[in-house]
Amino acid sequence: MMNIIRIPVLEDNYIFVLHDPDTNEGAVVDPAVAKPVLDCLESLGAKLVAIFNTHHHLDHVGGNKELIEAFPDAVVYGGKEDRGRIPRQQVFLEEGDQVEFSGKKGKVFFVPGHTRAHIAYYFAPTKDDDKGDLFCGDTLFAGGCGRLFEGTPAQMVDSLDKFRTLPDDTRVWCAHEYTLSNLKFAITVDGNNLYLLDRYEEVRIARSQDKPTIPSLIGIEKKTNPFMRWDSESVKLAMGFEQPERVFAKLRGMKDNF
């Protein structure tokens, strides 16, 4: 069994601590800072065995050094293309590689766009009534996607398309609480989407009560996130293009200036 503990840090980041209660081992995804992770592990009485980084940005790797000093046997994972950019990285992952934690195998997706080296981890369900878990860093957000700092629109379309192949009930553990602002933008380009309008109201109420909106679900994103809907007629019409990369490029440019 793999329990997932969501820790809000900084202004809008989430760190995810994974805990196996049977072995009392822990792993962490994108530790922006170390102290909340150390506090969480201490409260669980758990030993950190792995750090899973999605990319090199400081608000995803800032806690690596201190965590490894506290747990020197823990292994730091990251993308092969991030060599030299992730502190204490020991394992250099490529598309199709696997990681393991709590008896579950995590498939690695190479998803450039936000950065040139970004990866994501997908832990498939292990029981018929279980859900899979996608740790996607800053590639996919609830209602949005990451800015293109080092990649191209075509790369990001290809990266997000990989996520669209996952089961609809896959939980999406993205690294920021951007959902409300993302959906406000989404309505400006896909405002006749009834699923989107309902989702916006649900999120608006949740955030007014300071409740998190993460995790989302792949099925929700496919229905409401314009960055997962570049081939829908409504989004293509709003952007004035047919080609996926041109639809996406205009959409991303509009969001950057929203």
Query: Per the residue annotation, which of 30, 118, 176, 190 is the catalytic one?
Result: 176
Q: Enumerate the β-bridge partners of residue 6.
A: 16
* Cβ neighbours of residue 159 closer than 8 Å, sequence gap 6 or more: 109, 110, 111, 112, 113, 118, 139, 151
Strands 47-52 and 25-29: parallel
Q: Give 14's contacts (C-beta < 8 A, 6+ positions apart).
A: 6, 7, 8, 173, 174, 175, 176, 177, 212, 214
- Is residue 129 flagged as an active site residue? no
Please tell me the distance from the alpha carbon of residue 230 to that of residue 249, in angstroms, as a whole number: 10
State the greatest distance between any 2 C-alpha atoms of the chain, in Å, as a whole number.
55
DSSP 185-230: HHHHHSTT-HHHHHHHHHHHHHHHTT----SEEHHHHHHH-GGG-T
Instruction: Single out the catalytic residue among 57, 82, 118, 133.
Output: 57
Q: Catalytic pick from 56, 60, 82, 133?
A: 60
DSSP 46: P
Point out the catalytic residue in the list 20, 30, 59, 133.
Answer: 59
Among the options 30, 114, 118, 190, which is catalytic? Answer: 114
In a 3-state reduction of DSSP, which class is residue 184? helix
The catalytically annotated residue of 20, 30, 82, 138 is: 138
Which residues are CB-neighbours of 176 under 8 A, at least 6 positions away?
A: 12, 13, 14, 138, 141
Q: How far apart are the first and last CA of the chain?
A: 41
Q: Catalytic annotation on 118?
A: no
Q: How far is CA 233 from CA 95, 122, 193, 240, 247, in A?
A: 31, 29, 11, 10, 11
19 an active-site residue? Answer: no
- Give the residue numbers marked as catalytic: 55, 57, 59-60, 114, 138, 176
